[in-house]
Structure formats: C-alpha cells, structure tokens
Amino acid sequence: QVQLVESGGGSVQAGGSLRLSCAASGYTFSTYSMAWFRQSPGKEREGVAAIRSDGSTSYAESVKGRFTISRVNAGTPLYLQMNSLKPEDTAMYYCAADPWIARSLLLQQRQYKFWGQGTQVTVSA
C-alpha cells in the first residue's frame, strides 16, 4: 500500500527557514514524479515545487529562489528546503507522487495519484 508521510512543519518568524521531509513506502519511488503542494484556509491547493525522476524541477513563481526541492538518489525521502519564509507561505503542505507526469503539468494537483496527510507551516510577521 502506497503511503506518504510528511514531517518538518512548524512555526517560524518571517525570514526564517524550515525543511520539510516526505517519507514514502509501497512502491519504487525512484521512477516517480513527486511534488509539494500547499493549501491555506479559503484558498485552492497550489503546486509549490515538483521533481521528476530525471531530476528536472518546477517551481511556483512565488517561491523561486527561496525554496528548493530535492530527493536522495532519485528516491525518498523527498525534501523541501524553505528559506526566507514569508507570512504568505503559511499553509498546510502536502507531499504528492505519481508514476509519470509531463514536465509541463508537474504543478497541477489533478495529475497526482498519491497524497500525504500534510504538515502545517506557520510563518509569523
């Protein structure tokens, strides 16, 4: 059974950093596309960063230059290093995975089959 478990969320002040982790089990993750999404109250879930098995990445414009997605040897765990955090980064962050996703669709949530339960990130001003 496929399972994704996020960790690393917490509360930080603006300008601070956090690193999220996603541990996966139940399939051969090295060939999968994986991503981080986030959702804050009253807003739609949005793609933050994604990475394919070939190492290619995609980032939302709002996080470029501040967030870095990575994975260990094209497998798990999946990481999201978040620097220079802003209050608007406050959200529940979710890990997602799917066997294959076209590069142009990496930040579209409907493309992903497997999801974690989320980890909360709160950034105070």
pLDDT at 30: 76
Task: Quick: pLDDT tens for 42-66.
Answer: 999 999 999 998 889 999 999 999 9
**Residue numbers of the chain with a pLDDT score lower than 70:** 73-76
Q: Which stretches does DSSP call E strand in 14-59? A: 18-25, 33-39, 46-51, 57-59
Task: Quick: pLDDT tens for 115-124.
Answer: 999 999 999 9
